[in-house]
Structure 1
Amino acid sequence: MCSFLRCMRRFSSGRQNANRWQNDRAGWPDNGPSGIFFHGKIDYNGHEEGVRKEKTLGRKEDIIETAMKLFAEKGYHATSMQEIAERSGVAKGSIYNYFKSKEELAVSIFRYHYEVLFHQLKQIEADPSLTARERFCRQLTVQIQLFDEHKELVQMQLGEQAVKVSHEVQHLVFRIRAHTLHWYRRAIEDIYGEQVRPVSFDCATMLNGMLKEYLIYLAVDRKPLLPEKLAPFLLDRLDAIVASLLDGKTGLLDETMMADYMAAATQERSQWKERAISCLERMAALRPVEDDILRSLRLLKEELEKGETARRFMVEALLLYLAKYSLPLYNELKEAIERYFD
């Protein structure tokens, strides 16, 4: 275990003081059936396979962008897969190699763009030079920029296209709303402190409502609003909202009323933890297994079972230690742990 202890020391100095948002935030929406987004790790077994995969990813993105435009223009039900194929420049039969159905394509539209968004938010979160307010302002700017670049996505959502597609799309959109609300709440609490927690649902909801109206002006009415000006403007308005609610006012929303949103924001993360623990149990049952490996598997399981108090640096150090043994199920375990901490 000496080599493991060296690995652990390497991680501990950089991880022990990780920001609460990193450990407390929910996992973001997962990969779609097509598996083409950021969380999916692509292993290139040779240059030719890598090129083929890159072409496939590019073609899928083209189809998604085309479908999004058509859904926004004509509506989901009035748009056919043949129209999407023709506009994308692929044969009608070939489009089903990328997406099995129009419903799967609609799901992928939302997953794709929110994967892009949350990936960028995560990168900003990792910048230690930013204050909580600077970080949230930059994240809001990125969110507004994404919607500005993909106005059709706003039109689909605000035009109620999403709720008319299928139960799966409705469920996904609800989860995205829950994740967004969770992100806003945590950011607001980081900026204003624990005193704002009793009214953080109300603050997050009002911020989201203000942003939604400005997005309509930006994406639907094509008003020339600049994201880098809109984000700090909204935060200034948020200051006034928070000050008002902290001045003896009572919020309308509490954790009991918003339990469904809280559950949606944390459910996926819990599922990844359970998958990781299942992998560890199956790995420990393999025979023969060295004592050092068994101890590491046991320590890793105990750490994950701590839930929100799990020490990420310890988990990553144990994972790094196990990597050198080329164990069966290791890749599955690694993915589950990465997704749990995402």
Structure 2
Amino acid sequence: MTERRMEIIQSAIKCFSRKGYFSTSMQEIAEDCGVSKGLLYKLFDSKEDLLIQVFESNHKRMFEKARTIYLDKTLVPREVFKQSILIELEGMFENKDFFNILYKSLPKENNKEIQALSKRTRAAMLSWHKKLLLDAYQEEAEPIIWDLTVTLQGVIKEYVQLIVQEQKPANLHRIAEYIVDTLDATVEKHSDKQAVLTKELMEEYETYQFDLEPLERHEQLEKLFRQLREQIVSLPRPERSELGDAINLMEQEVKEEKPREFLLQALLTYLKQHVETIGTLEQIERLL
């Protein structure tokens, strides 16, 4: 995705979050990111097209972050489960403006594209959570996998409502630990009982295949550096230029045969002080 398109998407997120989809005009989005309305329509067919790309961009980014956990082969399944939930919570917390859009009016009625996007997003989330549970509990979870899946998704949704919409200062690490403890107890108590949501009942979601094959370390780092650059596109040009230079230097250093640890640590510290959301930096630090 080009830098200009990313800037427009970030402006759209801010405007949609602040005023709602229906009350936001393309002119306002163009003014917010400093481009002409003509250029906006050259890059996006319509306001609905822009909204769809906002959703797809954020959705894709969250799942790409989750891949980092699968690179660490030392983690036991339960810890992978907990860390994956934590990454999901962090992503939602760091993208408050985007998730505010989800709670405002969206043009779902009589709009086939938005309806299809909503269904794809829901199917992907269900499939992702199902995968987490099967990886963590394996055959114990299989008989009641869809009951566990909707339980997990419902709990996460309510926590997101509290920490994003109501701005409750909850500790994300403790939330992730509590969720895993709760699922541990649920699996232990209900794995030998008859499922409420059978595979036949969930057939339309059974056919959705979620692809989350772990990327190689260098591929994951490339994606994370790209995400960092996307996060700074809305900053003033001088600050964006300085941070961009630091990102470029770090990316170049990690490709060296023997990266200088002191330099990488100094760059991480500098970036953490100047980048508003540091989740991406923390993932890079884990990989290093």
Same fold (TM over 0.5): yes
Native 8 Å contact 2:127 2:209 kept in 1? no
1:187: Cα distance to partner?
1.7
Name the counterpart of 2:146.
201
Structure 1 position 226, deviation (Å): 2.5
Separation in structure 1 between the aligned mates of residue 44 and residue 120 of structure 2, nearest angstrom: 22
Aligned-partner Cα distance in 2 for 1:244–1:83: 53
Hey, what does 2:193 align to over in structure 1?
A: 249
3-state SS of 2:141 partner: helix
Does residue 190 of structure 2 align to residue 240 of structure 1?
no
Identity of aligned residues (%): 32
What does the per-residue CA deviation read over 1:98-131, in whole Å, with 9 as the maximum and x for residues that have no partner?
Answer: 2121111111111101111111112222221211
Aligned twin of 1:79:
24
Q: Determine if the alignment matches structure 1 residue 126 to structure 2 residue 98.
A: no
| Distance in 2 separating the partners of 1:196 and 1:69 | 40
Q: How far 1:160 sits from its partner (Å)?
A: 4.9
Q: Which residue of 2 aligns with 1:318?
A: none
Q: Following the alignment from structure 1 to structure 2, what is the Cα–Cα distance between the partners of residues 170 and 203?
A: 25
Residues 293-326 of structure 1: CA deviation (Å, up to 9, x unaligned) = xxxxxxxxxxxxxxxxxxxxxxxxxxxxxxxxxx
Per the alignment, in what secondary structure is the counterpart of residue 108 of structure 2?
helix
Judging changes above 3 Å, is the alpha-carbon distance between structure 1 residues 268 and 122 closer, same or farther for their aligned structure 2 residues?
Answer: closer
Aligned residue type for 2:149:
A
Moved over 6 A (4+): none
Taking structure 1 as reference, are residues 162 and 211 closer, same or farther at Cα in structure 2, changes over 3 Å only?
farther
Q: 1:166 to 1:268 in 2, by over 3 A?
A: farther
- Distance in 2 (CA, whole Å) between partners of 1:117 and 1:164 is 27
Once residues 21 and 59 of structure 2 are traced to their aligned partners in structure 1, the CA distance between those partners, rounded to angstroms, is: 19
> Post-superposition shift, 1:136?
1.8
- Paired with 2:18 and 2:67, the residues of 1 have a C-alpha distance of 32
Separation in 1 of the partners of 2:197 and 2:115? Answer: 23
Secondary structure at the aligned position of 1:266 is classed as coil
Counterpart pick for 1:112 among 31, 53, 57:
57
1:195 deviates by 2.7
Mapped to 2, the partners of 1:148 and 1:267 lie a distance apart of: 23
CA RMSD of superposed structures (Å): 2.1
> Gaps (5+ residues) in structure 2?
213-288
Given that 1:76 and 1:165 are in contact with CA atoms closer than 8 Å, whether structure 2 keeps it comes out as no
The answer to whether the aligner puts 1:99 opposite 2:99 as a matched pair is no
Distance in 2 (alpha carbons) for counterparts of 1:187 and 1:267: 11
CA distance in 2 between partners of 1:258 and 1:69 (Å): 36
From the superposition, tell whether residues 166 and 72 of structure 1 become closer, same or farther in structure 2 (CA, over 3 Å): farther
Runs of 5+ consecutive residues of structure 1 not aligned to the other structure: 1-35, 37-56, 270-342
Match of 1:259 in 2: 203
Taking the aligned partners of 1:142 and 1:149, their CA distance within structure 2 comes to: 10
Match of residue 213 from structure 1 = 158
CA contact (8 A) 1:103 1:165 kept: no
Q: SS at the partner of 2:42?
A: helix
Q: Is the Cα contact below 8 Å between 1:110 and 1:173 reproduced in 2? A: no
- Taking the aligned partners of 2:84 and 2:145, their CA distance within structure 1 comes to 18
The correspondence of residues 1-342 of structure 1 with structure 2, limited to 5 A, is 36=1, 57-161=2-106, 163=108, 166-246=111-191, 248-263=192-207, 265-266=208-209
- Maintained 8 Å contact 2:20/2:105: no
CA distance in 2, matches of 1:64, 1:231: 30
Find the structure with the greater CA-based Rg.
1
Structure of greater relative contact order (alpha carbons < 8 Å, 6+ residues apart): 1
Corresponding residue for 2:251?
A: none
**Secondary structure, aligned partner of 2:169:** coil
Q: 1:225 to 1:163 in 2, by over 3 A?
A: farther
Aligned counterparts of 1:172 and 1:138: Cα–Cα separation in 2: 27
Distance in 2 between residues matched to 1:229 and 1:114, nearest whole Å: 24
